[in-house]
């Protein structure tokens, strides 16, 4: 009777082990969990505004479409750049002509600010390709390391860039990110998130922005360089006056 009971328990344990193996860690599940704890469905419905480097950024949601604005003073005028179906520039509420190359540059700049401000939400965009690189330790904490690249279709002008994200195993949130870019002579950056706060249910952070002392390094090793103090602080990325409604 005891042998039968032990055999039955072993079967249960074996079945449990098989079920555990089925729950494999994937880049997609890591990103989905991060979005769920950072804002989830609110990203699709909430409007917001914030200040960044002396400019005001506004996100509107209209009929399922996102309209992004950048507003700033230029001499005695108010300039409003609008990223929607197409780029539009208004000066004191009057539309002004902008060369296609300049419009593309401004459009990309606005998109970049919102991309970083709303991370990790953008990591499920259609052009994003995600790859799980395993677990790593940074400053005695465990992280899931995920590589992100972009398809050329819908990937924008910077589709060749490579991004890395480190998601805290306990909180599911991205505490670190890095990227290799090619515009303006190219380079690499490593960002450390700090000053986390939630505004009406959406997570925002500021960043310490670092660059490697040697540009010849492998972007995949930049977390090790950070821990070995081989990066230098360039700037801080800070959002002010955040409003979500």
133 vs 183, residue with greater confidence: 133
Report H helices in the chain: 2-22, 27-38, 100-117, 222-227
List the CATH code of the domain at 26-240: 2.50.20
pLDDT band of residue 4 (cuts 50, 70, 90) is very low
Residue 159 pLDDT more than 90?
Answer: no
pLDDT tens readout for residues 213-226: 887 789 999 999 99
pLDDT tens readout for residues 7-61: 444 444 444 444 444 458 999 999 999 999 999 999 999 999 999 999 999 999 9
Report H helices in 47-90: none
Contact 68, 114 (CB under 8 A): yes
Global pTM reads: 0.87
- CA atoms of 101 and 235, how far apart (whole Å): 28
Contact 219, 198 (CB under 8 A): no
| Range from 94-98, 127-131, 170-174, 214-218 carrying the lowest mean pLDDT | 214-218
- How many CB atoms are closer than 10 A to CB 69? 19
128 vs 18, residue with greater confidence: 128
- Radius of gyration, CA atoms only, the chain: 22
- How many CB atoms are closer than 10 A to CB 125? 13
In 123-224, DSSP assigns E strands to: 128-138, 141-150, 162-168, 174-181, 187-199, 202-212
15 vs 96, residue with greater confidence: 96
Domain positions in the chain are: 26-240
Q: What are phi and psi of 79, to 5 degrees?
A: -105, 130
- CA atoms of 141 and 171, how far apart (whole Å): 11
Mean pLDDT over each residue of the chain, to the nearest integer:
90
3-state class percentages of the chain: helix first, strand second, coil last, to nearest 5: 30, 45, 25
């Amino acid at each position: 009777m005891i042998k039968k009971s032990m055999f039955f328990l072993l079967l249960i344990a074996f079945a449990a082990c098989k079920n555990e193996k089925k729950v494999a860690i994937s880049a997609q599940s890591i990103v989905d969990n991060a979005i769920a704890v950072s804002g989830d469905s609110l990203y699709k419905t909430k409007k917001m505004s914030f200040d960044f480097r002396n400019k005001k950024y506004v996100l509107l949601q209209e009929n399922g479409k996102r309209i992004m604005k950048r507003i700033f003073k230029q001499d005695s005028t108010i300039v409003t750049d609008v990223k929607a179906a197409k780029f539009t520039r208004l000066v004191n509420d009057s539309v002004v002509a902008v060369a296609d190359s300049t419009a593309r540059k401004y459009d990309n700049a606005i998109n970049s600010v919102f991309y970083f401000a709303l991370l990790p939400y953008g990591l499920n965009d259609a052009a994003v390709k995600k790859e799980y690189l395993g677990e790593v330790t940074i400053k005695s904490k465990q992280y899931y390391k995920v590589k992100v690249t972009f398809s050329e279709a819908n990937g924008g002008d910077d589709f060749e860039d490579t991004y890395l994200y480190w998601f805290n195993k306990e909180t599911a949130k991205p505490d670190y990110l890095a990227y290799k870019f090619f515009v303006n002579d190219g380079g690499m950056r490593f960002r450390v998130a700090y000053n986390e706060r939630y505004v009406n249910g959406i997570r925002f952070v500021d960043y310490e922005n670092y660059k490697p002392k040697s540009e010849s390094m492998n972007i995949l090793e930049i977390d090790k360089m950070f821990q070995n103090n081989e990066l230098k602080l360039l700037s801080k990325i800070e959002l002010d006056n955040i409003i979500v409604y």
